[in-house]
Amino acid sequence: MQATDPTSTTRNESSDQATIFVSLELSRAVWLVTALLPGAAQKMSRHQVPGGDLAGC
């Protein structure tokens, strides 16, 4: 049986797949949501919502 490394990734060179990176910074007062989209010229979008506002996310 061969062990697999869960941290290793396989890169698919297909142009119909992309990776979206999202981060959440949660506090009681403010939630900060950032996203990096493919083709966005490495510009990260940043959105701030009141803490606990699920609909705002």
pTM over 0.75: no
Q: Give strand pairing partners of 22.
A: 35
Q: What percent of the chain has pLDDT over 70?
A: 72
Query: For residues 48 and 32, is the Cβ–Cβ distance under 8 A?
Result: yes
pLDDT one-digit tens code per residue, 3-27: 665 555 555 555 667 889 999 999 9
